[in-house]
Structure 1
Amino acid sequence: MPMSQDVDLADPLFWRLPRAARLEAFARLRKLDAPVYFDAPGRGFSALVKHADVQEASRLPRQFASAPGVTTPEPAAWAKAVFGNSMVNMDGAEHARMRRIVSRAFTPRLLAAAEEDVRDVARRVVDEMISARPDDFVASVASRMPFEVICNLMGIPERYRPEIADRIDQASENVGVKRGVRARLRMPGRGLRALAHMQLVMAKLARERRRRPAGDLISALVCADIDGQALSSRQLGAFFSLLLVAGVETTRNAIAHGLALLTEHPDQRALLVSDFDRYADGAVDEIVRHSTPIIQFRRTVTTECALGGRTFHPGEKVVLFYASANRDEAVFDAPDAFDITRSPNPHLGYGGGGPHYCLGSHLALQEMKALFHELLTRPRGLRAVGLPELVDSSFDNRVRALRFAFETS
């Protein structure tokens, strides 16, 4: 397929370009008539960059399967046997069963308690921020908020939390583009030792909750019995790892990008502060669309099918680029603008719909609303100082650090 020679999404060097340059390259790819194939030894793929194509592929799981894996490299069979298979890599009845168990565990009582806890955590995080006056927003605020909410929801005792926080950092620190002579993509799956330690902690907690249920998410899941079957220890471990790593990392990055965007666009910040309840939902949606915390996921073609002007054959790989779909000019007016009043805003920040739509989207919305309400109404002059320090990554739009400043009222 014809394409500009300076655009190669399979080249690690592309992901070390400034973000603006990468977005401009996606804009050029969206103007082409059909998805472009990018060749790479053993992992070539066709790039789905248009909103309509990403959304359609997401809603056709029988043609575009998540198995054997949505990340690069795909998880090895031995890793799945040891650590369990993540829900994001499942299809069909297996995925439906796991999602049904998890969905039923989120009872109305549990969700109501979680929403109240979100507000309490937001107040406490901002209290401690005002008292300690740290320099890095990511470590002191953006990371802490989702981590504490998830730990409280799951019922993880305080004594385990420092170790789990360290393991999350170790599991995700290699997400990015490796620097050096042998540059290559580094994706989730390299922190296996960290995941192993984390799952040992989860297994211990699961045994405790089976003996003494405590009304938390761990208790609900370990006591679940759907269609005469309960979750195995490996299934529990895989789900907990997904919830801890994905649930914390994606929300952390969205929060960090949110502060940077509101600093860069003071008019939008002023509008949000003028009537927070009116504009909060739109602001969160626009932060997620504009930053797109997860850049891409892979799919494997299972049957011959046509999409976006191309015919795909079984065994081919396609990559769903959410970061491109969320800037599609065919769907969003002035897609590069940050506009909290954008309506409608059919972004694909939580996936493109279908069976893999993010289960935690509502929780992430509540966390961001509660935290920004505290941040924008209590300290004065809260702002990012300089640009976010981003990780060179083809997988997620990760913020390593973000300096900030504020005045107390």
Structure 2
Amino acid sequence: MAQPTPRSGTQPAPADPAALPDVSDIDLSDDGFWARPLSERHDAFARLRAHPPRFFAERPMGPVPTGPGYYALVTHADVAEASREPRVFASEPSAISIPDLPEGFAEYFGSMINLDDPRHARLRRIVSRGFTPRMLAKLEDDVTRHARRIVDRLVETGPCDFVGEVAARLPLVVICEMMGIPESHHDMVLENSSTVLAGQDPDYLGADVETAITRLLQAGADLSALLADLAAHRREHPTGDLTSALVTANVDGESLSDQELGSFFILLTVAGNETTRNAISHGLHLLTRYPDQRRLWWSDFEEHAGRAVEEIVRYASPVVWMRRTLTQDFELNGHPLRAGDKAVLYYASANRDAAVFADPDTFDITRHPNPHLGFGGPGPHFCLGAHLARREITVMFRELHRRVPGIAATAEPVRLASNFVNGIKSLPCAF
């Protein structure tokens, strides 16, 4: 498929404001916007991409004070450029929340994703020991073994909810085994990681803000306590798991504190479990919706697997955005921003930018090149587990292709009510 040459950091001169599409009906801070059908949201982002970065006011969030507002970065060029400038576009005080988080949240959600160098570099240097080529190679057989067991169970079960029986199971068991979490705790990890990434969904968080905050903090506390108990045991009885490697890690005299271990575990379960689960769920939905692409992939699975997985991640964009805060005045591709401004990097919009992707709304498993930002933009915060996620998605679809090639969604997905995660709560399937 022919593609325009990707470009980041440069944009054409702004058009006559009178000729720009109307965006007065778009409010990215309104929960109602995120309840719109996906096609309407993608159309809204396409209109926003024709404008310079737009400013949006923050909505009140219960006891959390209303913030000063934020600029929405929606083009591939702007998101990539901001990602390459971490000293200007800082992850502190928070990358995962547009409002500044209350103090109590930092204990559980203050992981390295919310930090800047040198603290970010220190933590990443330590935890990256669990993601070396050698460690990931050891996981290869485990991922395949777990995927086969999941599909064995699927064949026995028959028509079911694909999310609960297939998509959620593989990344959950892989991460828990990496960390050494006993199987008896797997359901608890899944439940709490789903709560952490529930967005505004009342099925997970309840109907009011106070209940939501309580449930979020409890989920963080439960995950952190689980890891603290395991870490204490591994210090005395180390094994070959990632928890042992982390509690015994010493890089240039540095090691992880219990709080850092807990928040990293929350990051790993959330980022490595929920996002991969959603990519697999979206994958089945897309292959059902676009049967020509399924036939093409199934005609030579290995030939198309690499590009198909990248296209699923681009098209679905499981993580919709990350926040940054400017440390100094900066001109972003001709647009002036000021120190202290919040900027929200909308990966889901950048991945549909026609300046980079030909026919961006077309799902095409042969797309090449495919410089999507589904694992984050270039720079120090690129997803540490991207390679593992790619392997899990590939292996899961390989087993489905091999054992149940006719598997398909039988209804539209039930979507998560969230502006942060493009999540699927359930997806009925049959084969």
Deviation at 1:189, TM superposition (A): 9.0
- Is the counterpart of residue 77 in structure 1 residue 96 in structure 2? no
- The CA deviation string for residues 175-215 of structure 1, in whole angstroms up to 9 with x for no partner, is 13669xx998x999951101101111111100111111111
- Partners of 1:266 and 1:398 lie apart in 2 by 22
Amino acid in the other structure paired with 1:119: T
Task: Give 1:255's aligned residue.
Answer: 280
Contact between 2:326 and 2:338, CA under 8 Å: does it hold in 1? Answer: yes
Contact between 1:171 and 1:189, CA under 8 Å: does it hold in 2? Answer: no
Task: Give 2:62's aligned residue.
Answer: none
1:176 paired residue among 200, 218, 221: 200
- Partners of 1:255 and 1:105 lie apart in 2 by 23
Change (3 A) 1:275 1:95: same
- Partners of 1:111 and 1:188 lie apart in 2 by 36
Task: Give 1:386's aligned residue.
Answer: 411
- The CA deviation string for residues 356-392 of structure 1, in whole angstroms up to 9 with x for no partner, is 0000100000001101011112114210112111122
After superposition, residues 39-188 of structure 1 pair within 5 angstroms as 39-41=57-59, 42-43=66-67, 44-72=69-97, 73-80=99-106, 82-83=107-108, 85-172=110-197, 174-176=198-200
2:32 paired residue among 13, 22, 25: 13
Deviation at 1:330, TM superposition (A): 0.2
Contact between 2:27 and 2:56, CA under 8 Å: does it hold in 1? Answer: yes
Contact between 2:195 and 2:215, CA under 8 Å: does it hold in 1? Answer: no
Contact between 1:71 and 1:298, CA under 8 Å: does it hold in 2? Answer: yes
- Partners of 1:54 and 1:342 lie apart in 2 by 21
Task: Give 1:233's aligned residue.
Answer: 258
Task: Give 1:35's aligned residue.
Answer: 53
With normalisation by structure 2, the TM-score equals: 0.89
Contact between 2:325 and 2:341, CA under 8 Å: does it hold in 1? Answer: yes
Alignment gaps of 5+ in structure 1: none
With normalisation by structure 1, the TM-score equals: 0.93
Deviation at 1:252, TM superposition (A): 0.5
Contact between 2:131 and 2:384, CA under 8 Å: does it hold in 1? Answer: no
Change (3 A) 1:19 1:183: farther
Aligned residue for 1:337, secondary structure, equals coil
Change (3 A) 1:90 1:191: same
- The CA deviation string for residues 274-306 of structure 1, in whole angstroms up to 9 with x for no partner, is 111110010000000000000111110110000
- Is the counterpart of residue 23 in structure 1 residue 42 in structure 2? yes
After superposition, residues 251-290 of structure 1 pair within 5 angstroms as 251-290=276-315
Task: Give 2:14's aligned residue.
Answer: none
Contact between 2:194 and 2:274, CA under 8 Å: does it hold in 1? Answer: no
- Partners of 2:378 and 2:343 lie apart in 1 by 17
Contact between 1:187 and 1:395, CA under 8 Å: does it hold in 2? Answer: no
Task: Give 1:336's aligned residue.
Answer: 361
Contact between 1:175 and 1:395, CA under 8 Å: does it hold in 2? Answer: yes
- Partners of 1:342 and 1:302 lie apart in 2 by 37
- The CA deviation string for residues 212-257 of structure 1, in whole angstroms up to 9 with x for no partner, is 1111111100100122121100000000011012210000100000
Change (3 A) 1:303 1:117: same
Change (3 A) 1:256 1:67: same
- The CA deviation string for residues 24-51 of structure 1, in whole angstroms up to 9 with x for no partner, is 000011112x111112353311110000
Task: Give 1:361's aligned residue.
Answer: 386
Alignment gaps of 5+ in structure 2: 1-16, 60-65
Contact between 1:12 and 1:183, CA under 8 Å: does it hold in 2? Answer: no
Contact between 1:177 and 1:183, CA under 8 Å: does it hold in 2? Answer: no
- Partners of 1:183 and 1:223 lie apart in 2 by 42
- The CA deviation string for residues 154-185 of structure 1, in whole angstroms up to 9 with x for no partner, is 1212232233233223333x313669xx998x
Deviation at 1:108, TM superposition (A): 4.2
Contact between 2:235 and 2:247, CA under 8 Å: does it hold in 1? Answer: yes
- Partners of 2:366 and 2:39 lie apart in 1 by 23
- Partners of 2:161 and 2:26 lie apart in 1 by 34
Contact between 1:71 and 1:187, CA under 8 Å: does it hold in 2? Answer: no
1:211 paired residue among 236, 242, 265: 236
Deviation at 1:319, TM superposition (A): 0.6
Change (3 A) 1:319 1:35: same
Pairs aligned (count): 402
Deviation at 1:344, TM superposition (A): 0.1
